[in-house]
Structure 1
Amino acid sequence: MDGPGTVTWEEFLENAERFLVVSDKISDGWELHGNKDIPGQAYLIRRAKCFIPSDAIARKDCSTDDDNDTQEFHVRFRQDPHEAVSTSEMPFIIEHHILWSISYSVPVLFFNGWKSDFLGINPVSVNEAQTIHGYKLNYTELSQAIHPIVGTPFLQLHPCLSQGLLRTMSKSRNKLVSWLSCIASAALNLKIHPEYFKLTH
């Protein structure tokens, strides 16, 4: 599918490779996995471990003292991996994947969160992911889906709204970054470093 609001596979790869150059420069942890020679079979991935209050998932009220982006669902990254873990905190592993949808010709975001020290243990459900963000969740097409490349369940921000977003970004020099900046807030503490925005000008 081509036309306004879409991204070709070649454009997705070119945007992703420029994105990776910035990621490497700022040590942001993104990597490209899969086969770039087959459309839709390569994707960006980043995994991070953080710590959250033990009751953060269960808490219905995720209000913050500051409406700015400073306290998104009370996550705190540790600089020192040997720092003692407070009994009021629990480990939380987050993994984000950015794929290209063959059906929609747009980027699509898959992600998972595990309330554990290990991948696959105590995954976050759709309802929990929405509770974490509470009323701040703007991109509401969140569901569980089978990851088309790795074949396991992930949370997915459905690509049906992405064409509308991309239509407003026709002048961007990196539509992947522009698109990601719009939807990141709905994806479990996905923060976009300001350095990436230089790619869009």
Structure 2
Amino acid sequence: MENSTISIQDFHKYINAFLTISNDLLDEWKLNTIDQNIENNKFLTKKQVVLLRNPADPDLQIIATFEYHLVYNISYAVPVLCFNIWRQDGSRITLEEYWNYNKNLHDYNMHDTLTQMDHPVLNKPIFTLHPCKTYEILKEFLKTSKNPVISWLSVVSQFVHLDLLEEYLKSC
């Protein structure tokens, strides 16, 4: 069987390289480190404001703040992209509401693609692109990319309104 996973040590190496690029670009990704006594203790975060339009009714729109987390999932041994979304008044947007504003995911089964689960490091509920989908995409990049985390993120970011600058791909 072909290996489609990465070690946590490689994940840390890849996110450190990602963070270096982010710092050079002033792209505002931040490294978060919690308890040094646990292995899965690092992840990246970034906040971004996005105008969401409802594909069924373009007049329905909201300004939303996304907080993205690029984190390692030990159970699947892959990176995962997690996020929370808030309206301008500070109230959270539900998974179902976001689904209605996301035309990029409408060809997929919502709960197989995007789910709410516990954050792999913080153990708090957060929206997550399902790790089994990560596994499927990542296997192609493990063969060819110098940084498979960035390569994978370049594919999935468009589905969840994350702007990923082209300069990141130059490191792959």
Q: Secondary structure at the match of 1:12?
A: helix
For residues 17 and 131 of structure 1, do their structure 2 counterparts lie closer, same or farther at Cα, with a shift above 3 Å needed? same
Q: Secondary structure at the match of 2:12?
A: helix
The answer on 1:44 being equivalent to 2:63 is no
Structure 2 gap ranges (5+): none
The answer on 1:182 being equivalent to 2:151 is no
Task: Name the CA distance, whole Å, in 2 between partners of 1:98 and 1:175.
Answer: 13
Aligned to 1:124: 93
Which residue, out of 153, 165, 169, partners 1:193?
165
Which residue, out of 106, 129, 147, partners 2:119?
147
For residues 176 and 62 of structure 1, do their structure 2 counterparts lie closer, same or farther at Cα, with a shift above 3 Å needed? farther
| 1:151 positional shift | 3.3
The answer on 1:30 being equivalent to 2:25 is no
Larger RCO, structure (CA 8 Å, separation 6 or more): 1
Bigger Rg over Cα: 1
The answer on 1:111 being equivalent to 2:106 is no
Aligned to 1:84: none
Task: Name the CA distance, whole Å, in 2 between partners of 1:32 and 1:182.
Answer: 22
Q: Is contact 1:47–1:95 with CA below 8 Å preserved after alignment? A: yes
Task: Name the CA distance, whole Å, in 1 between partners of 2:26 and 2:45.
Answer: 14
Letter in 2 for 1:45: T
List, as ranges, runs of 4+ consecutive aligned residues in structure 1 with deviation greater than 6 Å: none
For residues 62 and 26 of structure 1, do their structure 2 counterparts lie closer, same or farther at Cα, with a shift above 3 Å needed? farther
| 1:146 positional shift | 2.2
Task: Work out the number of aligned pairs and report it.
Answer: 166
Task: After TM superposition, list the pairs within 5 Å mapping 1:81-92 onto structure 2.
Answer: 91-92=63-64
Task: Name the CA distance, whole Å, in 2 between partners of 1:36 and 1:152.
Answer: 16
| 1:150 positional shift | 2.6
Aligned to 1:172: 145
Q: Is contact 1:5–1:162 with CA below 8 Å preserved after alignment? A: no
CA-atom RMSD in angstroms:
2.6
Aligned to 2:102: 133
Counting aligned pairs with the same residue, the percent is 28
Q: TM-score, normalised by structure 1?
A: 0.73
Q: Is contact 2:73–2:120 with CA below 8 Å preserved after alignment? A: no
Q: Secondary structure at the match of 1:100?
A: strand
Q: Secondary structure at the match of 1:173?
A: coil
Aligned to 1:157: 129
Aligned to 1:6: 5
Q: Is contact 1:110–1:155 with CA below 8 Å preserved after alignment? A: yes
Greater helix fraction, Structure 1 or Structure 2: 2
